[in-house]
Structures are given as C-alpha cells and as structure tokens.
Amino acid sequence: MGQNQQVQAQEGELELNSIQDLYKSFIMECPSGSLYLHEFKRMFGVHPGTVESEYMDNIFRAFDMNHDNTMEFIEYVAALHLVLRGKLEDKLRWTFKVFDGDGNGRLDRDEVLKIVKIIYRIKKGDVSDETGGERLTAEQVRDHIFEEVDVNNDGDITLDEFIQGAESSPWLQRFLCFDVNPSGLVHRHLCHRKHTCTSAKDL
C-alpha cells in the first residue's frame, strides 16, 4: 500500500484500493476462495502453539458468520468493515463472540480469564488500573471486568451486560483496544507491504 492508503486504513476506512489489495492477498493465500483457519493464521504470521494462535481461533470463529468453518472473502471484508468502522455497540457484540468460547451466549469467569490471559500476554503484561498507577495481574483484570459488567453478580455476563458495562467503562474499552481494533491485528494486515504480514508476536 502507498502512504495515502495506509492513512485511510489508520482512519478506519476500507476504500476501493484497500479492498483490491485485500482481495489480492486473500486469493494468494486461498485460491479456492474459501479461507480455512490455518490459512487465516498464516496471513497474519501467527504460528501454531503460540498464545496468539489461541486468540486467532476465537477471532476466526467470530469472523465466520455462517458457521461453516471457512471464511469467504465477503465475510472477511464485512468483518473488517465492522471492526474498523462499526459503531461501538457492534464492536462489543463482535468482541463478546470472541470471548464466548462455547457459544452459549454467556461469559463465565473461566472464559473471560482465558481471553484476558491471551490479551494480557499480547500486551506483555502492561495492563494497569483506571489511574494508570497500578499494574494488574490477569486475574485482577478478570475480576475488574466482572465488577464493571456483571450487574446482577450472578457470576455470568450476558451480551446486554457486556455491552452496557463496556460502553460506560473507558478502562475496559482501552483494554479491548477499541482505540484501534482488537489487538491491532487488522491494521497490521491492512498496512502490510508486498503482502508480507507482520507477525502478531510483535504486538
């Protein structure tokens, strides 16, 4: 991409040239037009057995809108459009799906901790409280999320609780990387050069 296209991507816009570049990259990775999980990870330079690989499992599932275990280009672009340009509520709905490992529509403490640990390691442990003065462990982050979001204190987080709690919590939005997009993975792919993806381990 040229400099102008990179700026467009950074501003959260999927312009025609960006979509054309994405399509070229997509077809290079999966000539059949159907993207499988291992190909999706390869596009982002994510290696099996890493913490980023676990995170990409959930991201892929959230992108796979028709649940056929593959991703077509239209699903890919629709997901990128949502992540880059969607409203906060839409991003929260998408993120809830990433957290909801068993797909039952509720987040328990184990599910939240699993994804928190992945994000925590991607952030290299640099997670602090609202004041920025105290470093938090992954367990403390999990507990803080439940304090912010689990309104009825039943130990589970529903989609409505997640949306309402996160919308009113700048701290949680920062932790989820809504200032850019989930973990910066999408921008790193949009801003690649010569279809060479930056490894997610550098996040």
pLDDT tens for each residue of 57-91: 878 887 787 888 888 888 877 777 766 667 888 88
Place of tokens 């490992």: 101
pLDDT for the residue numbered 18: 67
pLDDT for the residue numbered 152: 93
Show the tokens assigned to 83. Answer: 């992540």
Rg (CA), the chain: 17
pLDDT for the residue numbered 159: 95
Cα–Cα distance for residue pair 91/161, rounded to 1 Å? 14
- Contact in structure between 141 and 175 (CB atoms under 8 Å): yes
The torsion angles phi and psi of 149, rounded to 5 degrees, stand at: -115, -40
Whether 4 shows a pLDDT value over 70: the answer reads no
pLDDT for the residue numbered 153: 92
Helix (H) or strand (E) holding 90: helix 88-99
> What domains does the chain contain, in order, with CATH numbers?
3-85+182-202 (1.10.238.10), 88-175 (1.10.238.10)
Displacement of CA 27 from its chain's centroid (Å): 22
pTM of the model: 0.64
